[in-house]
Amino acid sequence: MDSTDRPVYGTRKHRAADLREGDVTRNRFGKWDEVSAVVRHVDGLYTTVRTVVGGDQQHRTVQLVDVQVVKPS
């Protein structure tokens, strides 16, 4: 595998309410982890982000969280 075939990732800020399944964000341990579900609370103020390894994390809906994205080539 050539190093040019490998994607290069960058970090962007997204609102917690805008996260989707499959996004990669930091879990409660500070490690990069894949989002498995996003549950929006009825009151609209909080969002629970469930990650594969780190479990559940509760964020305010408008809180900015780091998300890994592939940089354009």
Which CATH number belongs to the domain containing residue 29 in this structure? 2.30.30
pLDDT per residue as tens digits for the range 1-53: 566 678 888 999 999 999 999 999 999 999 999 999 999 999 889 999 999 99
Does residue 37 belong to any structural domain of this protein? yes
Domain extent for 61: 15-70
Does residue 39 belong to any structural domain of this protein? yes
User: pLDDT value at position 17?
Assistant: 92
**pTM of the predicted model as reported, rounded to 2 decimal places:** 0.82
Does residue 22 belong to any structural domain of this protein? yes
Q: In whole angstroms, what is the distance from residue 39 CA to residue 52 CA?
A: 14
CA 9 to chain centroid, in Å, comes to: 13
Residue 59: pLDDT band (50, 70, 90) is very high
Does residue 4 belong to any structural domain of this protein? no
The H-or-E segment that residue 61 falls in is: none
- In the chain, the number of structural domains is 1
